[in-house]
Amino acid sequence: MYKSCFIALLAFPAALYSQDLGHAGASASDAGSSISSSAVSGLAVSSSAISSSADSSSTDGTAAEAPAPMAAAGTAQVDSSSQGFFSRGVFMRRKKDTPVGSFTASYVYRYAPDLFGADRSQMGWSAVPEVNFTKYVGLQAEFTGLYTRSIYPGTNQFMAAAGPRFTLAPHRKITPFAFAEGGMIRTTHQLSDVSDWNPVVTGGIGFDYKISHSVAFQLVPGEYMGQKQDDGDWNHSFVAKAGITFNLFR
């Protein structure tokens, strides 16, 4: 009897001890699984952070590479500006908005004091072709017919002259210009076939008013004309013109 009680007393603490060990192992395994899951989630977070940083770095690289065309354009501008003196100013390449030439047809009025023994008024026409060497400098030729009706018999004059033309502010709507010419003028009397040629010089200022890209209204409010007469004296006269200019482009 006493032996059975003693054995029961010894077995009861052993069972309690083994139960405590089982609970401790289960809690340890739960802790380990939680630790491992935390580690896995941490690795996932790290990998996502790394991928996001890689994406941001690639985006930054793309953004950094974006100004490359601007840099190339700047290099091209530097190269074009370093081509020397003859690539700038009046020697620069002609742009499409600068005409290579023009043709002007005008009405002409001339007042000539002391011409053919009295003060004369003449009216007529002029045709002026022009070619531009640069946007500021060109060469023009002028062909003008003048008719005198205030005397009998009437007198006709024909002038052929040429010279440089200087264009100011060529890209504005109102374009001023100046010109100078030298040539010959022929005087013909209506009742005879006798004609004589005398030297003539002209010079004046005017402006073109652009109506469209290829058409302009031209006014020459002041032009000087000097004509050498048969007696050796020079006649100094005033000329005004108004007409239409047709611009020619490449």
Whether the CB-CB separation of 197 and 184 falls below 8 Å is answered with: yes
User: Among 173, 180, 171, 109, which Cα is nearest to 139's?
Assistant: 180
User: Among 196, 250, 201, 244, which Cα is nearest to 224's?
Assistant: 201
Residue-wise pLDDT for 129-181, tens only, equals 999 999 899 999 999 999 987 666 678 899 999 999 999 988 889 999 999 99
Residues in the chain: 250
- pLDDT above 70 covers a percentage of the chain that reads 60
Q: Band of the pLDDT at 4, cuts 50, 70, 90? A: low
